[in-house]
Amino acid sequence: MRPPESTVAIVGAGPAGVLTAVRLLDAAARARRRIDPVLIDPAAEVGHGTAYRTPEPKHLLNTPAGKLGADPADPSGFVRWSSERLRRPVGPGEFLPRRHFGDYLGALLDSTARRSGAHWDYVRERVVRLERSEAGVTLELASGATLAASAAVLAVGPCAPDCGWAPRQLRESPRFVADPWARDGGFSSDGDVLFVGTGLTMVDLAIQLDRPDRTLHAVSRTGLLPRAHASRPGAPVVAPDLAGLGPDEVWRAVSGGRSWRSAVDCLRPVASALWRGFSVAEQERFLAEKSRYWNVLRHRMAPVVAHRLRRIRRDGRLRLHTGEVTGAVEDAGGLLVALSDGQVLRVGLVVNCTGPKLDLRAGGKLVPGLFADGLAMPGPHGLGIDTAADGRVLARTGPDTPLWTLGAPRVGTLWESTAIPEIRDQADAVAASVLSFVTTRKTPTAGLGTLP
């Protein structure tokens, strides 16, 4: 049996989990230490997660290939791998199918393990509970089995969308799709479609479900679509000195003018520091007044996707609405859905595209259980999980558990924490911290007193 001192459990085998495992293997090889990552996830494949498992070739990456190398020191890694895989030159400005990136991450994990002479395991299970133990942590799986490890990393990715906005009659209808990505792209209903939310999920599904005899409706509180990436990279913009400024001043500095794309992009490396510099009241005001508009500028469509969407709108097959869903009743022809602007739409499907749920205090077992047991606490404003600077999960009671997290669960602490460039940087920090913990802690003799 593998010695538990070397075992690091990684809960989640999507991009965050795989990048953490890769960084752990690399760091352990440099330090000449043994680390055995065990990725735990019910998914059939590693690397894909929710975002990159879609089989639909029209679902493209929202970031050009040249920015998606897994190693920050080698940003062209994905371009080289894609060129070899596709047997053609891939340009750094190309927007490839999303599933392709998941394949790249899976291949990267295998090649890293071979290069370092290390080993990793994959357990196709769901973790339902995590507890402190004398050796570190014990994870309970949905099957009832347990797994012991010296440390664990929560790499759970974005949660399914919240359905709290939906009237009860709509939530109970078989024509309501609560989580479109849980279907792996399968939609069988005829008739028109209403998307609730106008972000990138809606864009993907509108392009997938468009057909000549169907009208697609999309409603959100802003009625705004994501902006598009420029067809050609713009001139680089030097980030202004924004230290000490509040949300309004920062917003004015990046949201206007012809170079807004470059301004937003150059802000990303310092966005988390700015967020932490805001007062609690300023953060709350940003969430209430600016966050939706920031997402419109920040999370963009590939140019070819934007062109397809413009064509669908121009031909009248996609109609945007500003407002909210106020009611829904079953009808012989589908669903009658009332909007806050007074319109009533007859549709065959209503698809929840409101984006991932950020408040993790309800839904599922694992994270709410950590909160209930005092092993973790919600992040600022109830968003995600509260963490230290290195991603270690902060306990509400007792000593901190040897537990780290990265990506979407850190949104309350860092705000910008869901895209690959941010996740790969966090994976570096988490791997370094985990390796330091695992290789320097003393073997416990009794109780939990040896935990730092």
Residue 326 and residue 194 share a domain: yes
Q: Is residue 180 part of a domain?
A: yes
Q: Is residue 288 part of a domain?
A: yes
Q: Is residue 175 part of a domain?
A: yes
Mean pLDDT, range 411-438, rounded to an integer: 93
Distance CA 5, CA 446 (A): 15
Give tens-digit pLDDT for 364-395.
899 999 999 999 999 999 999 999 999 999 99
Residue 195 and residue 132 share a domain: no
Mean pLDDT, range 314-332, rounded to an integer: 95
Cβ proximity of 358 and 411 under 8 Å: yes
Residue 138 and residue 49 share a domain: yes
Q: Is residue 401 part of a domain?
A: yes
Burial of 236 (0-12, 13-18, 19+ CB in 10 A): exposed
Residue 14 and residue 102 share a domain: yes
Give tens-digit pLDDT for 171-180.
999 999 999 9
What integer pLDDT is reported at residue 422 of this predicted model?
Answer: 92
Q: Is residue 322 part of a domain?
A: yes
Q: How many domains does the chain have?
A: 3
Residue 40: name the closest of 182, 183, 136, 154 by CA. Answer: 154
Residue 105 and residue 20 share a domain: yes
Residue 364 and residue 433 share a domain: yes
Residue 343 and residue 205 share a domain: yes
Q: Give residue 118's pLDDT band: very low, low, confident or very high (50, 70, 90).
A: confident
Distance CA 16, CA 10 (A): 9
Q: Is residue 90 part of a domain?
A: no
Residue 251 and residue 213 share a domain: no
pLDDT at 235 over 90: no
Give tens-digit pLDDT for 22-55.
999 999 999 999 899 999 999 999 999 988 998 8
Residue 221 and residue 173 share a domain: yes
CA atoms within 13 A on the CB side of 15: 28
Average pLDDT, the chain: 89
Single out the residue in 282, 298, 314 at which a domain terminates: 298
Q: Is residue 105 part of a domain?
A: yes
Residue 388 and residue 343 share a domain: no
User: Please, which residues bridge with residue 351 across strands?
Assistant: 177, 195
Single out the residue in 266, 282, 298 at which a domain terminates: 298
What are the b/e assignments for 95-109, b being 16+ CB within 10 Å? bbbbbbbbbbbbebb
Single out the residue in 352, 368, 395 at which a domain terminates: 352
Percent of the chain clearing pLDDT 70 (strictly above): 92
Q: Which domain holds residue 122?
A: 4-59+97-159+358-440
Residue 378 and residue 288 share a domain: no
CATH number at residue 207: 3.50.50.60
Q: Is residue 108 part of a domain?
A: yes
Residue 147 and residue 43 share a domain: yes
User: Please, which residues bridge with residue 66 across strands?
Assistant: none
